[in-house]
Structure 1
Amino acid sequence: MLSFIGTNAQPELKIIGHITTADGLLTNGIKYTYKDSEGFMWFTFQGGFQRWNGNEAKNYSYLVDTNLNSAYRYCRPILEDKKGNFFIGSLNNGLIKLDRNTDTYIRYQHNPQNPENSMTGYGVNEMLLDSSGIIWLGTFEALTRFDPEAETFKNYILNPDIRYDPRNSIKSMLRDSDGTLWIGTANGLYKLDEKKDSLLQIITDPVIPQILSSFESMLEDQNGLLWFGTNWGILTYDRATDTWNHILTTNPDKPDSGEDDKIYKILEYHTASNHQIWIGTHAGLKVYDVNRNILTHITPKNGYPEISNAGAVQYLYIDDNDILWASLGGIV
């Protein structure tokens, strides 16, 4: 965990905890972090998921269930709905609804005998909880609307003729303050027209190169500005003026790498005097000062000697105590 203070100068960070396999984690490669309504932290991995109570990790039967594809227990998104139901998206074993008290679960998967009322494919890459209680699933083959009460599914497929078209692989989602559902795919950005039940492609300005057009993360900031993390750095969109802005996150110490511009996760932190966008990339952690338009690379060279891991930062989370949880060789 990182304790950070937003100042008018360079952000100050201090490592206050580091959880690794030595503390009971399955691996140091954490894919997703989530804090539930009871205050527990949850982590997902290539081999499953765990709950962290502040001192130790708890394993669940998913790790040893012989009815599953034991060679591929990869999990990613986690979500708790308003009724306390807990959902985990796996990349090969469908959507898991976990009963945390009994350590039992239900799996929802593609049903070839009932394709119209089951999720498309077997992998869930992202999830979004709607204010109405609907859960939107970003799968590798479609956008799926899941009603957990009725247990019904509705799929939106951009290219039904090609099963593994990158446009069908949903990477990120956002319901903005106007009620619009934005969908980031492995090949472009879309909006859902819920009246016409169709997905509309969004053309950015500047136009993002197709080879870099994976929209990995998105958010709406306190001012209503939309932020999109892509493989081409960050794009912002002002809906009021219909204007776009492109922010490259290239590290000047390695300008030809390209890995610093490949975004995994973006999130916002703001106080009365500070406004920051924290960025997890293929090549480390960064922070963008919105008020001053300054990007800081969190590296030893830039005054952060404790941050020695320049590898991928796949997930970020800021809790209610202003603690930043980052996947840096375990969870930091």
Structure 2
Amino acid sequence: MFRYLVVVGILASLSAQNYLIKFSRYRDGLSHANVTTVRSAENGLIWIGTESSLNQFDSKDYYRIGLEAGLTDDYISALAIDDNGNIWIGTHNGLNLHQRNNHHILKYLSSDNANSLTNNSIQTIYIALDGSAWIGTERGLNHWTNDGFERFIAKPDLGFTLRNDDILSLIQIDSNTLLIGTNGGGLELMDIKNYRFHRISGISAKKITDLEASRDGGIWISSAENGLFHYSPKSDSFQAIKDNVFKSYRLTSVTEDEFGYLWVGTEFSGLVSYHKQSGKIKNYQFQADNLNSISSNEIHDITTDPAGNVWIATSNGLSKIHRKEHLFKHYMISHSSKS
């Protein structure tokens, strides 16, 4: 069962389009089983990207925003929440900004305009320390400010430019340094002030699937073919983590909780937990005869909420691990909207 809340707005913004936004409320589940990304807001809301629309979950009801609500596309590929609680929504066809204060949505699409996106296939979004947004696409890095977009395209023949512009992951090391994970080109560093790039040679991985801050000031790096790494900006050094374990998996995502656990998602082998202090490793895999097992072995994204629980986006719904018991609770597709 659901009902609609319709809000109409007329907005003007550089390289942004006008919109009509419509929320639909459901009590009985997600809009699609394939959960592509998940983020937790400070107010306790869980934002869930799926193959068919964005879902907001408030612990009781699901609210959906999709193509019919004004988004540029139904397939949600990336999410980020800024300091004002606004939701940045990346899709396979453009970027959207859901404004918290008025529920307006701004839509950004690639065009011939130099202040627009380089490409409409959004793969990652990172909110910078100054409140601006970095957007990685299948072809190009984009920096959003109130003045529009700055574009960065690979020009390998020129020195100090981006060498690979298929961007999968982003994180800021300090106010002037952006770390960039690419699909096939490894890691690159950007000097933000001087617009200069250089490739990092201290890591063998070429497909960098996730970059996440560690609690010691470093950065966790997951790769599709070479395992898990920790990068220390202070010493500019890399450490391979449990090479004999993680190198055997195709890693998709990583996050660190407040209890000293690393949670690592894999492409086909479930979820792996690693306790840093004890060195203990556990692999959680789907078991058809066990309702308390993870809902799928195909992990797309991981995040933690303010209470310390871990949320896992999978190809068969959303799973939550309780912070103490490490038991799974599942959030699945609505029977009334199954596609």
**TM-score w.r.t. length of structure 2:** 0.74
Give the counterpart letter for 1:143 in structure 2. Answer: L
Query: 1:117 is matched with which residue?
Result: 115
The answer as to whether partners of 2:40 and 2:304 remain within 8 angstroms in 1 is: no
| CA deviation after TM superposition for structure 1 residue 41, in Å | 1.2
Match of 1:87 in 2: 88
**Per-residue displacement from partner, 1:221-262 (whole Å, max 9, x unpaired)?**
12223221001211222334443222357769xxxxx8x521
Q: Cα deviation per residue 1:259-287 (whole Å; 9 max; x = unaligned)?
A: x521111111234xxx2211011121001
The letter of the residue matching 2:62 is: A
Question: Secondary structure at 2:239's aligned position in 1?
Answer: strand
**Counterpart pick for 2:58 among 28, 53, 56:** 53
**Code of the aligned partner of 1:322:** G
Provide the residue aligned with 2:139 in structure 1.
141
Measured in 1, the distance between the counterparts of 2:43 and 2:71 equals 30
- Give a deviation string over 1:76-125, Cα, whole Å, max 9, x none: 22223333433211111x1112246765522111111x1x2111011211
Offset at 1:186? 0.4
1:326 match: 312
The alignment status of 1:279 with 2:277, answered yes or no, reads no
User: 1: distance between equivalents of 2:275 and 2:143?
Assistant: 36
Give yes or no for contact 1:78–1:89 (8 Å, CA) kept in 2: yes
Q: Does 1:270 align with 2:258?
A: yes
SS of residue in 2 equivalent to 1:23 = coil
Answer yes or no: is the 8 Å Cα contact 1:86–1:99 preserved in 2.
yes
Alpha-carbon deviations, 1:114-168, whole Å to 9, x = none?
1x21110112111111121111111111111001x33x1101112389xxx9921
**Amino acid aligned to 1:312:** E
Say whether the 8 Å CA contact 1:249–1:261 is kept in structure 2: no
Contact map agreement 1:166 1:185 (CA 8 A) in 2: no
Question: Does the CA-based 8 Å contact 1:248-1:261 persist in structure 2?
Answer: no
> Structure 1: how far apart are the matches of 2:100 and 2:235?
46
Decide which of 188, 191, 210 is 1:190's aligned counterpart.
188
Tell me the secondary structure at the aligned position of residue 64 of structure 1.
helix
Q: CA deviation at 1:45?
A: 0.9
Name the residue aligned to 2:44.
39
How far is the alpha carbon of 1:67 from its aligned partner? 9.1
Return the alpha-carbon distance in structure 2 between the equivalents of residues 31 and 158 of structure 1. Answer: 27
Cα distance in 2, alignment partners of residues 67 and 88 from structure 1: 9
Judge conservation of contact 2:78–2:89 (CA < 8 Å) in 1.
yes
Shift of 1:217: 0.7
Question: For the residues of structure 1 that align with 2:75 and 2:286, how far apart are their CA atoms?
Answer: 32
Deviation at 1:300, TM superposition (A): 7.7
- In structure 1, what is the Cα distance between the partners aligned to 2:221 and 2:125? 17
Aligned 8 A contact 2:135 2:141 in 1: yes
Indicate conservation of the 8 Å contact 2:76/2:89, yes or no. Answer: yes
Report how many aligned residue pairs link the two structures: 284
Q: For 1:159-203, what per-residue CA distance to the aligned partner results, in whole angstroms no more than 9, with x for missing partners?
A: 389xxx992111111112575210001021101012331221111
Give the match's secondary structure for 1:292: coil
2:227 aligned partner: 233
CA distance in 2, matches of 1:245, 1:203: 13
Contact 1:184 1:217 in 2 (8 A): yes
Unaligned runs of 5+ in 1: 1-20, 253-257
Distance 1:308 1:121, change over 3 A: closer
Residue 306 (structure 1) aligned with residue 292 (structure 2): yes
| Cα distance between partner residues in 2 of 1:241 and 1:309 | 40
Question: Secondary structure of 2:298's match?
Answer: coil
Q: Distance in 1 between matches of 2:129 and 2:117?
A: 21
Give TM-score scaled by structure 1 length.
0.76
Q: Tell whether the 8 Å contact from 1:277 to 1:290 is kept in structure 2 after alignment.
A: yes
1:204 aligned to 2:208? no
Q: Compute the RMSD of aligned alpha carbons.
A: 3.0
Q: Could you say what secondary structure the match of 2:317 adopts?
A: coil
251, 275, 279: which one aligns with 1:289: 275
Q: Is residue 77–residue 123 contact of structure 2 (8 Å, CA) maintained in 1? A: yes
Structure 2 CA distance for aligned equivalents of residues 295 and 102 of structure 1? 45
SS at match of 1:224: coil
Identical columns (%): 21
SS at match of 2:297: coil
Moved more, 187-196 or 174-183: 174-183
